[in-house]
Structures are given as C-alpha cells and as structure tokens.
Amino acid sequence: MRTALCVFTLLPVALFTLSTPDAAVAGKYRQTIKNVSGSSANDLHLEFRKANVTKVKLTTLAGVMASATKNIAAPGARNVTFPSGGGWRVVARSKARIDFDSTGNPSIISKDSYFTSDGTKLKNKSGKSLSVKTKPEDIAYVPSTREALAFFFNDGPDPVTYTSIQLWKNNDPLNYNIDDYLTPTGDLVTGLPSSITLQPTEQYTLSFGIIDDSSRYLLVKAIVEDEEDPCLTDPTWEWGCSDYEIAAARFVPEPGSLATLAFALAGLTGLAVRRRRA
C-alpha cells in the first residue's frame, strides 16, 4: 500500500496538468515566510526551485501592510524581486504570505531566498534572513478510482504539526485566480483529523472522495503552528499572531481525458514491472 501511494504522488500529478483547460494549467499554492534576520526588511528576493512559476503575490502581515503581484515572464527564470519602491515593510520576526502559480509538478520557495533593507542583505548569526517551515500540500487525481487526494509533507529538519485542516471540492472556477482562490465556495469534506504531526521526510494523505465534476477546482488549506511567534513570547508585540499558512488548489482532469490518463499510467506501471524483472 505504501508503494502505491508513492506512485500516485509522482505520476498523477505529472499527468494531471496535461488535460486541464489553459486557464487552469497552473496549480495555485501558498507558502509563508518569516523574517528571522533581526531587522526590518523592505526588499524581498525570492528564488524557486523550479523554473515553472508564472505569477507571484506578496502579502505582508506586520510592518507597512501591502500586497503586490509580479509576473515571471522570462523563460527559465526562477527568481523574482519585490523592491522597496513598493512601499512595504516586513518587521523583524514577522511573516509574509507568498501565493504563486506553478505549472506541472509544483515548485517551492528555495532557501536561497532572502530579505534586504535598502539593498543591504539581511542575515542573523546563522547567516539566514528568512525561514520557510515546510512546502505546501499538493493534490493528485487517481483515474482508476476517480478519487482526489491531498498530500501533506514535512521536508524540514524538525517535526511539524498541521492544524485547521480543510479540504474543499466543487469550488467556483470564477475564484480560480491568485487573489481569490483561497476563498472556498464549494463543499467542505468532513471527518478530517483535527491535526497531523509529521516527522522529517514523512508524508500523509487525505481523500477528497470521488470527483466527477472537472469544471470546479479542489482546495486544501492548513496551518503549521509557529511556537516561536513573538505574540506568544513578547508582551510588547503589537502585530498579532500569525502561523505558517500553506495551501494548494487544482482542477481535476476532464472526463474525456481519463482514458488517456489510465493508458499512460498503465504504460508506466508496465515499465516498472519490466524493470523489476530485469
């Protein structure tokens, strides 16, 4: 059973985007970053691990509140900069939300990303200026059962606990844009655990159930708690509490494409069998 889950993690997500409408090719994702430099920042240099991110949105949570969106138009580019000219600021120990569109297998924010202040790179004693708790969830579709799955990961060095877990299906496609995709308009999946704790490299799977409507998208949202948030330890902190929000949204394949998906999956499974025999 463990092997089957690993296969579905990799294969359906790769095949998933081949059959979706042009407007829905990119999955939408949220990661949260934290300023750990010890100083306020007004420049952000984001780098992604893959060159498949097309649009990025920054929303600050403490400091000078602002929201800005950038397109990544250059082929092969993996980075984007939000300069100080935008009038925003992220104070020390506070967080910012990063929403982005990513085609194919999703990209994630690289740990080579960093904050600066008026062009000067910020860093703490460990040489870091920002932290990213874990990568966002992802969604895959299993053609043989018509079931959609949400995957939760821990790619960090320490245990992480997911709370406020929500899976929504049948969401209105009019909301499928970088500003509105996190506003659920569909059906909330019930019977989910209240929390999930994952050890490093561990993953966990939850089911959306059987999905028949390819015209509406799936959404998974959760919070990874920040036990070192200054609102818990600093009585002078004035910006409120904020955890690491993460999210993912995707469409399912259109019904007419399921035969193609099943054929491709069967071919890859056969290849794996032949390799084992060899």
Provide the CATH number for the domain around residue 16.
2.60.40.10
Q: How far apart are CA 96 and CA 66, in angstroms?
A: 10
How crowded is residue 64: how many other Cβ atoms within 10 Å of its Cβ?
A: 13
From the list 253, 56, 29, the residue with the least C-alpha distance to 135 is 29
Tell me the per-residue pLDDT of 54-83, one tens digit each, with 9 for 90 and over. Answer: 999 999 887 667 788 888 877 778 999 988
Mean confidence (pLDDT) of the chain: 80
User: Which residues form the domain of 111?
Assistant: 2-277
Is the model's pTM score more than 0.85?
no
Tell me the per-residue pLDDT of 229-264, one tens digit each, with 9 for 90 and over. Answer: 777 788 777 777 778 899 999 998 755 444 434 433
Where are the alpha helices (H) located in the chain, listed in sequence order? 2-16, 230-233, 258-277
Q: What is the pLDDT of residue 210?
A: 94
Determine the 3-state secondary structure of 7 from DSSP.
helix
Q: How far apart are CA 138 and CA 126, in angstroms?
A: 31
Q: Say if residue 111's pLDDT is above 80.
A: yes
Structural domain count, the chain: 1
In angstroms, the Cα distances linking 199 to 106, 161, 202 are: 22, 9, 5
156-176 burial by CB neighbour count: b if 16+ within 10 A, else e?
A: beeebebeebebbbbbeeebb
Tell me the per-residue pLDDT of 180-210, one tens digit each, with 9 for 90 and over. Answer: 999 999 999 999 999 999 999 999 999 999 9
Where are the alpha helices (H) located in 146-254, listed in sequence order? 230-233
